[in-house]
Amino acid sequence: METTTAAEIVQDIQTGLSQITDVPTSLAETGEYAKNLINLLQEFAVTYGGKLIGALLLLIIGFKLANVITKKASSSKAFGRIDVSTRGIIVNVLGILIKVIIGITALAIIGVPMTSMIAVIGSCGLAVGLALQGSLSNIAGGFIILVLKPFKAGDFITSGDIAGTVEEISIFHTKVLTLDNRRIIVPNSSISNSTITNVSALKDRRVDLTFTAAYNNDIDTVERVLSDVCLSHPLVYKDPEPFARLSAHKDCSLEYTVRAWCKAEDYWTVYFDLIKDVKLAFDKNGISIPYPQLTVHTDK
């Protein structure tokens, strides 16, 4: 079967137009002009109309079918086991690929050579790549995050001066909701190339605190009070047992280190409760917390 190329179609159109470029000047010429125009339209419709209609139908039906396929894929059981953010990106990429294939097929039906299409697509890809270097690096960063999974939607992360809960991971950026209810849009290229602390990665966290007491307080008593405060808190794990020991000699006081384990979601509750409870326990047991002191000697 002989295939008509796009160049041949353009040449036939130019040949036909050359036959009707002369404007009629009399009634007889007008009839002949109209007859040639009708013949040209009929010939074009018979020769190329079927291909154009077929390509148009392919685009309409194909694009609707692409939407149906992406919806079915996103609701399938296989996609249900994938992270929500990853699922959205995969569905979008799948839809774009299907529509690109349909568009190329429609052009092939009309008669555009595949070699020409490949050359044009390659040239456009190079131009777009040079123009969107930053966006492409964000796309690469998004795929790195989705593949390596350093964090997922719902995790609390810190990266540089950003700290908050991950709301959404898209193909270009990541949305982070801070503790004071601010939404930060972070480019994937920057967050994938920086140090990330995923606070929600593990179910348990350790609360590390330091307290000071005066030198004249009994060390064993201070350590016992600190341990009792930790053990009496309902959210602090009893195993592993809380740690409370003298850790440093400061200029005006002794420094004690306290370490207590709890669930990750209870971290801040335990943190602030222990600070308050230790102060109350120190007051109850007569343990003094000294103020900074400075001794100045003068020569008379």
Amino acid at 17: L
Highest mean pLDDT among 13-17, 130-134, 143-147, 261-265: 261-265
Q: Is the pLDDT of residue 189 over 90?
A: no
Question: pLDDT tens for residues 55-91?
Answer: 788 888 888 888 888 777 777 776 666 666 666 667 7
Q: What backbone phi and psi angles, to 5 degrees, belong to 193?
A: -105, 10
Q: Is 3 helix (H, G, I), strand (E, B) or coil?
A: coil
Which residue did the predictor score with more confidence, 215 or 298? 215
Q: Which of 178, 200, 177, 174 is nearest to 189 (CA)?
A: 174
* Residue 173 parent element (H or E): strand 173-178
What does the pLDDT average to over 50-58?
A: 76
- Percent with pLDDT over 70 in the chain: 70
Mean pLDDT lowest among 75-89, 98-112, 136-150, 204-218: 75-89
pLDDT of residue 215: 93
Q: Residue 220 above 90 pLDDT?
A: yes
User: How does pLDDT run across 224-280, given as a tens digit for each residue?
Assistant: 999 999 999 999 999 999 999 999 999 889 999 999 999 999 999 999 999 999 999
pLDDT at position 28 over 60: no
User: β-strands 204-213, 156-159: how paired?
Assistant: unpaired
Residue 1 — very low, low, confident or very high, per pLDDT cuts 50/70/90?
very low
The upper half-sphere exposure of residue 261, i.e. CA atoms within 13 Å in the direction of its Cβ, equals 10
Residue 295: band (very low, low, confident or very high) from pLDDT cuts 50, 70, 90: confident
Q: Is the pLDDT of residue 13 over 60?
A: no
Mean pLDDT score, 25-30: 56
- Nearest-angstrom CA–CA distance, 70 and 72: 5
Residue 173 backbone phi and psi in degrees, to 5: -150, 170
**Is residue 106 pLDDT above 90, yes or no?**
no
Return the pLDDT at 139: 76
192 or 36: whose pLDDT is higher?
192
More confident residue, 28 or 199: 199
**pLDDT value at residue 147:** 77
pLDDT averaged over every residue in the chain: 79
For tokens 């149906």, the residue is 68
Residue 114 has pLDDT above 70, yes or no: no
Q: What DSSP string runs through 102-167?
A: HHHHHHHHHT--HHHHHHHHHHHHHHHHHHTHHHHHHHHHHHHHHHH-S--TT-EEEETTEEEEEE
> Which of 215, 187, 124, 199 is closest to 163 using CA atoms?
199
139-184 pLDDT, tens digit per residue, is 778 778 877 888 888 899 998 888 999 998 887 888 999 989 999 9
